[in-house]
């Protein structure tokens, strides 16, 4: 207890320095669960609180983080045509992944938490945990080569306009992480679409594609010395990309040549396990499903949304199969789950409780709607290769309306009993 | 529609499905399989749609012929019913309301079925326990005055007929006033043996409703009746639609009402007879169908009442939940509710012509050194009740740990409570308390004890986190076995939208019903006080 007393002595005066007090409060409640007791109302409360809930969501994403970091490096070396085996030169792949992942993570949190702390101080209430999850999600849905300044602007935009403008945690209409992504998507489409954005560390500006380690080249140099002394493989001099390389994602291929075109480049098991180019955290399906199951077992995320979203996606896929208008529609519906970021959107994006429907019936409609709309955008819209981001934002906007009708019918039922 | 019919319909459907798909598989082309499957799906959907319409027509017809529970008139299988455990033998063939929502918080310190010795010398009646009593009731006793059990202490200024009487005989030692001279408590120093004020004999058979009401008011048992929706003292002029009595308490550490009613069977039945004369509707008893032992004969063999069996977790034993499933409160309706011991007091009045305010209080919770039951009277002093029985740094609660009232050790048990709980105070910090895997009471799946199975807790009063905005959804619904959206209702109260509150069913709720939602709330919102705020808003409107 001596340690905690020392920390308590540090507490700044709330009136004199409110900002410092907000920061102190945030850090203290991070270290210790406070000693407040229930007053009026219930005397015993559930052990769960928002901090733990959010921490559990972040925990559920950790496998995606680990795999994402590895996959950044793996895709890079695949493009170079070296270390093609999955377990070859893992140290290089992970290190390269970290040089991409860490700056993204740090920038996201510094910018996001900065805005969050400032608003908590301005409003005079405690720092809410909502950004923990948003901040963990944003790096996973960005391309590995995203310029950090664009990321910073996107995060600031999302937190300011999608969250604080609506009143902070719990009040937002749209999923904040997706607003950040949609901002990049529409403001800087070159960075987050096309065939050249998904494999990191390549320079496409000249006729010949070369490796480009950018500002982090010194890290490679530093570690190369270490690894050389250990006798391990090193990054070596900057290389040239193999002939015929294309960083096209399965979705881009499917849009032009259907399932045939996809299987020419990627096998279904590659798609399933996620050793393909894509946003950092969304490629590996089994790892996402593990996270999703974790959230369902902990009763944090709604299984209704997830299940109905799968149903919506599968049904639309079947309908497209039956329709069969073009090659993309003929992609067997089951393989739509293998491509793109369906599972990531399902597990971590659509289930955001703040922006989803609040009623259980509403959740079924909401999830199903995302499944259908996402597939329509994916298959029928030539401009956007992937649909879940737009589908979720679209259904986010409709979630209050869905709830409104469900509540109205509940009210009508009750009043008609008079 | 009985069970045999859907047992025919569904296998037939399955057979059709099976043959259709196996036929489709003979052609190798996936597209053909797909289109066949879709065709089958469409046929099944169409068939289901026709069935749905047929069911609705059936239910409309049932409703027209005055059937209340239309859920029995269904073509579709009530799959839910297949998964119920076999009902306990003592229920026999009576229908059971299975309520799947709720949670039984396993706490240490269940009251043992033993009578504890205790000498209580002080009793107090708290005017705040009676809702609808104006803030300053007229006190007619002064400190030092001697009273008999049944003598008037104070009365309602707006309706002088409604009097609050002394539960015991003795000397008035304090009349405590709170803010703005509103009286808070009248404290009595009890005699060693209670002397009762005699009331005139009363013939229940020939009496009119008005005479019964007057007699009950005079003897001071009237305030024992609570009127819903607002939880006020019952209106003397207006007969209720129905009267509801829950014969079991599902709250944590709650007294076993079968034990409480033992030896009071005659009084209980007499009380029911009296209540039957007060309502134009019926007296409904809620019985426990999930206990291992059958409920007391006093409940199951009582006559002149409607019995309803309920099986489920807490808050199934709450009378509000039972009302919702028996005959829910509609706008403008008034119903009365009573506890079992209140019914016994009313019965005793008509049997022995005196105000008997005996209460068997249960003593439970991990902070008590011994648990059990104490025979005492309404408003017993907690200092006397819990002397040498309670550990340091504990919280005393009059009522259960969800909806009871916090009391100081110098306090008194409240008028309507038949339970005293004591649990440790949680006034300590926990290092990384929000992140460590701890053993804690929870309805979520976040804690390791979810895997370890049923563990009994020494739960303390820590908030286990800080208050936050509503973030999670769908958390309250599994805690409230009613067709109500609690979270949306709470938002309607916050926005002071009275039409919406009424539409969402606020009049069906009381604090105790919503307490479990408050327990489960991730955002630590004060739902019970919010609900009362909303009820007050509506009450002052009407």
Subunit contact A34:B466, Cβ cutoff 8 A: yes
Decide if pLDDT at B27 tops 50: no
- CA distances A88 to A77, A94, A233, Å, are 10, 11, 9
Give domain status of residue B319, yes or no. Answer: yes
* A35 contacts in chain B (CB < 8 Å): 426-429, 462
Q: Does residue B163 share a domain with residue B77?
A: no
- CA distances A148 to A107, A113, A175, A216, A288, Å, are 7, 16, 21, 13, 26
At A103 the pLDDT is 94
Decide if pLDDT at B39 tops 90: no
Q: Does residue B20 share a domain with residue B145?
A: no
Give domain status of residue B392, yes or no. Answer: no
Lowest mean pLDDT among A12-26, A133-147, A306-320, A364-378: A12-26
Model confidence at A18, pLDDT cuts 50, 70, 90, reads confident
Decide if pLDDT at A183 tops 60: yes
At B184 the pLDDT is 80
Q: Do B36 and B30 form a contact (C-beta atoms < 8 A)?
A: no
Q: Which of residues 194-213 of A touch B (CB under 8 A)?
A: none
Decide if pLDDT at B63 tops 80: no
At A253 the pLDDT is 87
Give domain status of residue B404, yes or no. Answer: no
A36 to chain B, any CB pair closer than 8 A? The answer is yes
Subunit contact B402:A33, Cβ cutoff 8 A: no
At B423 the pLDDT is 94
Decide if pLDDT at A350 tops 60: yes
Q: Does residue B315 share a domain with residue B172?
A: yes
Give me the number of domains chain B comprises.
3
Model confidence at A328, pLDDT cuts 50, 70, 90, reads confident
Decide if pLDDT at B399 tops 70: yes
Closest-CA distance, A404 to chain B, in angstroms, reads: 10
Q: Does residue B128 share a domain with residue B75?
A: no
Give domain status of residue B186, yes or no. Answer: yes
Subunit contact B440:A324, Cβ cutoff 8 A: no
Domain edge (last residue) among B322, B337, B352? B352
Lowest mean pLDDT among A140-144, A371-375, B54-58: B54-58
Closest-CA distance, B426 to chain A, in angstroms, reads: 6
For the segment B486-494, the average pLDDT, to the nearest whole number, is 93
For the segment B392-406, the average pLDDT, to the nearest whole number, is 93
Lowest mean pLDDT among A372-381, B2-11, B184-193, B469-478: B2-11
* A176 contacts in chain B (CB < 8 Å): none
Higher-scoring residue by pLDDT: B394, A384: B394
Q: Which of residues 140-169 of A touch B (CB under 8 A)?
A: 168-169
For the segment B104-132, the average pLDDT, to the nearest whole number, is 91
- CA distances B503 to A92, A381, A407, B334, B493, Å, are 63, 42, 9, 17, 12
- Other Cβ atoms less than 10 A from the Cβ of A90: the count is 14
- CA distances B325 to B61, B97, B99, B300, B448, Å, are 21, 8, 10, 19, 35
> Which of B168, B196, B176 is CA-nearest to residue B384?
B168
Q: Does residue B119 share a domain with residue B56?
A: no
- Residue B295 domain boundaries: 115-352
Q: Does residue B188 share a domain with residue B330?
A: yes
Give domain status of residue B399, yes or no. Answer: no
Subunit contact B444:A318, Cβ cutoff 8 A: no
At A417 the pLDDT is 63
For the segment A52-69, the average pLDDT, to the nearest whole number, is 94
B470 to chain A, any CB pair closer than 8 A? The answer is yes
Subunit contact B524:A45, Cβ cutoff 8 A: yes
Domain edge (last residue) among B336, B352, B368? B352
Decide if pLDDT at A255 tops 90: no
Instruction: State the DSSP string of B250-308.
Output: -STT---HHHHTTT-HHHHHHHHHHHHHH-SS-EEEEEESSSSSPPPHHHHT--SSEEE
Q: Does residue B291 share a domain with residue B224?
A: yes
Subunit contact B397:A410, Cβ cutoff 8 A: no
Max mean pLDDT among A12-26, A223-237, B138-152, B169-183 falls in B138-152
At B276 the pLDDT is 93
- Residue in B468, B495, B517 to test binding to A, most A beta-carbons within 10 Å: B468
Q: Does residue B442 share a domain with residue B325?
A: no
According to DSSP, the β-strands at B170-177 and B183-190 are antiparallel
Q: In what order do the strands lie in the sheet with B243-246?
A: B96-99, B306-312, B283-288, B243-246, B335-338, B226-228, B232-233
Q: Does residue B125 share a domain with residue B42?
A: no
Give the pLDDT confidence of B235-259 residue by residue, as tens digits.
999 999 999 999 999 999 999 999 9
Higher-scoring residue by pLDDT: A305, A17: A305
Subunit contact B474:A50, Cβ cutoff 8 A: no
At A228 the pLDDT is 87
Averaged pLDDT of chain B: 87
Q: Does residue B73 share a domain with residue B139?
A: no
At A82 the pLDDT is 84
Domain edge (last residue) among B352, B377, B398? B352
Q: Do B95 and B70 form a contact (C-beta atoms < 8 A)?
A: no
Decide if pLDDT at B26 tops 50: no
Model confidence at B2, pLDDT cuts 50, 70, 90, reads very low
> Which of B339, B370, B357, B337 is CA-nearest to residue B231?
B337
* B432 contacts in chain A (CB < 8 Å): 31-33
Subunit contact B518:A41, Cβ cutoff 8 A: yes
Lowest mean pLDDT among A274-278, B32-36, B183-187, B296-300: B32-36
At B69 the pLDDT is 64
Subunit contact B465:A51, Cβ cutoff 8 A: yes
At B212 the pLDDT is 94
Q: Does residue B126 share a domain with residue B227?
A: yes
Q: Does residue B288 share a domain with residue B161?
A: yes
- Residue in A41, A306, A416 to test binding to B, most B beta-carbons within 10 Å: A41
Higher-scoring residue by pLDDT: A325, B338: B338
At B91 the pLDDT is 85
Model confidence at B490, pLDDT cuts 50, 70, 90, reads very high
Give the pLDDT confidence of A82-110 residue by residue, as tens digits.
888 888 888 889 999 999 999 999 999 99
């Amino acid at each position: 207890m001596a340690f905690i007393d020392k920390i308590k002595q540090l507490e700044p005066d709330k009136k004199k320095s409110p900002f410092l007090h907000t920061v102190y409060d945030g850090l203290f409640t991070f270290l210790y669960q406070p000693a407040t007791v229930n007053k009026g109302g219930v005397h015993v409360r559930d052990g769960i609180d928002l901090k733990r809930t959010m921490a559990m969501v972040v925990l559920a994403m950790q496998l995606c983080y680990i795999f994402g970091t590895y996959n950044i490096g793996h895709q890079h070396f695949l493009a170079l045509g070296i270390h093609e085996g999955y377990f070859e030169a893992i140290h290089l792949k992970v290190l390269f992944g970290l040089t991409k992942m860490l700056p993204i993570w740090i920038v996201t949190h510094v910018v996001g938490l900065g805005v969050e702390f400032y608003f908590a101080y301005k409003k005079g209430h405690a720092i809410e945990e909502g950004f923990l999850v948003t901040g963990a999600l944003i790096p996973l849905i960005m391309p590995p080569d995203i310029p950090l300044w664009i990321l910073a602007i996107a995060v600031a935009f999302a937190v300011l306009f999608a969250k604080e403008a609506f009143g902070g945690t719990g009040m937002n209409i749209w999923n904040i992480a997706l607003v950040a992504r949609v901002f990049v998507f529409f403001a800087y489409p070159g960075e987050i679409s096309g065939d050249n954005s998904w494999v990191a560390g390549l320079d496409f500006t000249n006729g010949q594609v070369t490796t480009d380690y950018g500002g982090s080249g010194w890290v490679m140099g530093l570690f190369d010395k270490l690894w050389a002394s250990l006798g391990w493989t090193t990054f070596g001099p900057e290389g040239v990309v193999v002939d015929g390389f294309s960083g096209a994602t399965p979705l881009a291929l499917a849009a032009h040549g259907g399932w045939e075109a996809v299987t020419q480049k990627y096998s279904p098991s590659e798609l399933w396990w996620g050793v393909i180019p894509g946003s950092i955290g969304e490629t590996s399906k089994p790892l996402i499903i593990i996270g999703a199951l974790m959230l369902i077992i902990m009763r944090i995320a709604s299984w209704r949304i997830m299940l109905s979203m799968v149903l919506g996606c599968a049904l639309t896929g079947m309908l497209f199969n039956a329709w069969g208008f073009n090659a993309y529609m003929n992609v067997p519906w089951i393989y739509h789950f293998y491509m793109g970021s369906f599972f990531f959107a399902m597990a971590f994006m659509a289930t955001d409780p703040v922006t989803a429907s609040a009623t259980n019936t509403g959740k079924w409609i909401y999830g199903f709607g995302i499944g259908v709309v996402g597939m329509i955008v994916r298959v029928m819209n030539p401009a956007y290769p992937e649909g879940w981001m737009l589908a979720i934002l679209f259904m986010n906007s409709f979630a209050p309306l869905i709830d409104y009708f469900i509540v109205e019918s509940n009210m009508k039922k009750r009043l008609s009993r008079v | 529609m009985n069970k045999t019919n859907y047992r025919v319909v569904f296998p037939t459907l399955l057979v059709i499905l099976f043959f259709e798909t196996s036929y489709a598989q003979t052609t190798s082309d996936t597209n053909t399989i797909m289109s066949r499957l879709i065709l089958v799906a469409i046929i099944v959907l169409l068939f289901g749609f026709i069935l749905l319409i047929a069911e609705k027509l059936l239910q409309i017809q049932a409703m027209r012929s005055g059937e209340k529970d239309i859920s029995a008139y269904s073509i579709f299988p009530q799959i839910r019913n297949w998964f119920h455990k076999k009902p306990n033998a003592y229920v026999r063939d009576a229908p059971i309301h299975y309520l799947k929502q709720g949670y039984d918080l396993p706490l240490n310190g269940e009251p043992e079925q033993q009578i504890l010795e205790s000498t209580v010398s002080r009793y107090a009646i708290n005017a705040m326990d009676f809702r609808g009593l104006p803030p300053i009731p007229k006190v007619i006793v002064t400190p030092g005055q001697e009273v008999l059990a049944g003598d008037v202490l104070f009365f309602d200024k707006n309706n002088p007929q409604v009097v609050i009487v002394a539960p015991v005989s003795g000397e008035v030692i304090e009349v405590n006033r709170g803010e703005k001279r509103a009286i808070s408590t009248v404290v009595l120093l009890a005699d060693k043996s209670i002397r009762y004020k005699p009331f005139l004999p009363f013939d229940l058979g020939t009496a009119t409703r008005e005479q019964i009401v007057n007699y009950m008011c005079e003897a001071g048992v009237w305030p024992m009746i609570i009127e819903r929706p607002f939880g006020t003292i019952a209106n003397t002029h207006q007969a209720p639609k129905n009267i509801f009595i829950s014969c079991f308490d599902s709250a944590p550490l709650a007294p076993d009402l079968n034990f409480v009613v033992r030896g009071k069977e005659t009084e209980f039945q007499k009380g029911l007879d009296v209540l039957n004369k007060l309502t134009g509707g019926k007296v409904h008893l809620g019985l426990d169908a999930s206990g291992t032992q059958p409920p007391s004969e006093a409940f199951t063999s009582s006559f002149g009442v409607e019995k309803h069996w309920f099986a489920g977790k807490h808050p199934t034993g709450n009378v509000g939940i039972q009302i919702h499933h028996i005959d829910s409160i509609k706008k403008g309706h008034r119903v009365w509710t009573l506890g079992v011991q209140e019914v016994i007091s009313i019965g005793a009045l008509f049997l022995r012509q005196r105000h008997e305010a005996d209460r068997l209080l249960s003593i439970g919770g991990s902070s008590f050194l011994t648990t059990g039951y104490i025979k005492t009277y309404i408003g017993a002093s907690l200092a006397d009740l819990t002397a040498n029985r309670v550990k340091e740094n504990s919280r005393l609660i009059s009522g259960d740990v969800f909806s009871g009232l916090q009391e100081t050790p110098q306090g008194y048990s409240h008028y309507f409570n038949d339970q005293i709980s004591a649990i440790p105070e949680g006034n300590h910090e926990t290092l990384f308390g929000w992140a460590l895997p701890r053993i804690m009471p929870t309805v979520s799946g976040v804690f390791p004890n979810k895997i370890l199975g049923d563990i009994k807790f020494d739960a303390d009063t820590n908030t286990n986190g800080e208050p936050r905005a509503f973030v999670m959804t769908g958390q309250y619904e599994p805690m409230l076995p009613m067709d109500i959206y609690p979270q949306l209702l709470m938002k309607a109260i916050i926005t002071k939208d009275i039409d919406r509150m009424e539409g969402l069913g606020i009049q069906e709720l009381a604090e105790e019903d919503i307490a479990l939602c408050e327990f489960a709330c991730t955002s630590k919102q004060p739902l019970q006080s919010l609900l009362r705020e909303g009820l007050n808003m509506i009450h002052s409107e009407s």
